[in-house]
Structure 1
Amino acid sequence: MHAIYDVPAPAKLNLFLHVVGKRPDGYHLLQSIFALIDWADTLHFERRSDGQLTRHDGADASAILPADDLCLRAARALQAQSGCNYGADIHLEKRIPAGAGMGGGSSDAASTLLALNRLWDLNWPLEKLFSLGLSLGADVPFFLGGRHAFVEGIGEILHPIDLPQMTFAVLKPAQSISTQQIFSSPLLARSNSVAIVAGFPAHNEAQHTNEKSQGSSSENAKPVELNEQGIASFLNGFGRNDLQKPAEAHCPEVVQALQILEAEFGNSRMTGSGSAVFARLNDGLRPDGLPAKQTGKSGTLSSDKNSWLDGLPSNFHARICRCLDRHPLHGWA
């Protein structure tokens, strides 16, 4: 095999995000649901025999990437850890906006690890890639796992879950937000308790510490069995995003984007550390569980599904997205 083309790297949304504690090393402990969506980057890989690693960006990239981005760092780490003499030309068609809280860079890194594992004939098992991915970033293991997940720890403890088909309006303001800046904000509040939703496991910080020391991936973790009440609880607007208030204070465009979606669809919430926000469509409920507006906008799309885009600021990125069943590369390792 000399090349692999059209490798997808999908984005994620945080359906909720609770900060539930802090480790001694300063990393915050989280609980969240990560949902894979069909907004994706595309990568192409061509094997090189000289060991060189180069990245070539598509002309329609959504943002100018740093010279040493996560996909190059992932390729270099895999090359070093495996002792592989091959290199690669990596062609990246960047569509997921940077600085959005949608995991675009982490997804690129995960797809790079999965593709080069094949292209270089390494045949590493997923658990080995998972450990390498975690060294690159806390979100990388999620994209390697290939399933929607109830997420704990700093993002590395994954409980795979199944989600119903859902549709979202996603809006990314022009301004991006630094994750480090949000987590260091004095406005960051800690949730009073861990997520207690029927069907979800309730973990305390001691359990977090124990699980972190053992490691966990979505392939070997015991699946979370969501009963009907548990599914209904979070679909009806469970929780919040604890990072949203500091993001709103730092970035007025987040407030503007939230207001746009609230006015159009009757609900809105930020994903990750922002600055992208989303609205859930077609369920008739707000994130706080109250009914969506019944006059004017009702949380459903009109016959012209793109009519809501009219009047948006020209430098905002907007798209209607749907949940994926699983990551397109699920089973590649």
Structure 2
Amino acid sequence: MQGNQTRPTQLLACPAPAKLNLFLHIVGRRTDGYHLLQSVFQLIDRCDYLDFSVRDDGVIQRLNEVQGVPAEQDLVIRAAKLLQTYSSSQLGADIKLTKQLPMGGGLGGGSSDAATTLLALNHLWNCQLSRQELMALGLKLGADVPFFLCGTNAFVEGIGELIQTITTKEQWFVIIEPGVHVPTPSIFSAKELTRDTKVVRITDFPDATNATWKNDLQAVACTLHGEIKDAIDWLSQFELSAGLASAKMTGSGSCVFCSFDDEDSAKKICAQVPKQWKSWVAKSLQQHPMNTWLQN
């Protein structure tokens, strides 16, 4: 199949979108130390971008430097090599990664980059793996990777591998990057972390009045990094109502967000964000943008 002369040799500017956790509850802990969670993952239109060019010599290399991420540790390179080994492909790839998503921001940038790599190279190398096979492979790289491979917004449980498609409302988000990097292990290992939040059902979301949609990691992160608390406090001035409009942290931090029903409102608030913080407006997505590029 790899001898097919019609197969493309490049895919350029492949998007790797960020996600927001509209809520994140820790509902238990496994005997191996992994935490059990419930969350709704929301895709947004802020992305990293990757360029892929096929090589015939089997070499996989990243063409550019990424600050703080040596190539051999990059999930992009690890994903490419994992797919190459699993599929027994003799092909390689030159890869360029253009980062827009902050590392340690809770936006899933590294996991999303890995997922886009699997999707793109599965196509370029003509591996013909199904979406489900790619998701199983992606779980070896990290708990969030299968979500990005699933390609739709989702109600997520377990350690991140139990995924149910969900439709979310169209909305806009003001996102603030407080300028701190939060190592995920420091949050999950904290003694103060709540690990017994009551389990909710997918049908509860988002209208249940008996559930508080929060991020259980937020209190610990705010204790460790006052900048996160400051950003949440600032955004909280603009809450439209209780519930999903509430300002909160995404993932294990450090980025925080607040949702708005229209773009103009979000842009007006974003323009007021204090200059010491990076900020931007993002729109909700219903599908991963790679879904329109590739048919799996």
TM-score by length of 2: 0.89
Residue 304 (structure 1) shift: 4.8
CA contact (8 A) 1:57 1:94 kept: no
Residue 263 (structure 1) shift: 2.8
Residue 302 (structure 1) shift: 7.3
Alignment correspondent of 1:65: 69
Alignment correspondent of 1:110: 115
Distance verdict in 2 for CA 1:253–1:94, change over 3 Å: same
Residue 128 (structure 1) shift: 1.1
What RMSD in Å do the two structures reach over aligned CA positions?
A: 2.2
Distance 1:323 1:306 in 2: 16
Distance verdict in 2 for CA 1:149–1:86, change over 3 Å: same
Which of the numbers 19, 43, 48 marks the counterpart of 1:12?
A: 19
Counterpart amino acid of 2:272? W
Which of the numbers 141, 146, 156 marks the counterpart of 1:136?
A: 141
Which of the numbers 256, 279, 285 marks the counterpart of 1:277?
A: 256
Distance 1:302 1:129 in 2: 36
Alignment correspondent of 2:5: none
Counterpart amino acid of 2:227? E
Distance 1:102 1:320 in 2: 14
Residue 307 (structure 1) shift: 2.0
Distance 1:107 1:12 in 2: 9
1:34 aligns with 2:41: yes
Alignment correspondent of 1:250: 224
1:327 aligns with 2:291: no
Distance 2:266 2:62 in 1: 41
Counting only pairs closer than 5 Å after superposition, residues 170-185 of structure 1 correspond to structure 2 as 170-185=175-190
CA contact (8 A) 2:155 2:164 kept: yes
Distance 1:22 1:179 in 2: 16
Distance 1:25 1:55 in 2: 34
Distance 1:130 1:196 in 2: 23
Q: Secondary structure at the match of 1:108?
A: helix
Aligned length: 281
Task: List runs of 5+ in structure 2 lacking aligned partners.
Answer: 1-7, 241-245
Distance 1:112 1:320 in 2: 26
Task: List runs of 5+ in structure 1 lacking aligned partners.
Answer: 201-229, 284-298
1:85 aligns with 2:90: yes
Percent identity between the two aligned chains: 43
TM-score by length of 1: 0.79
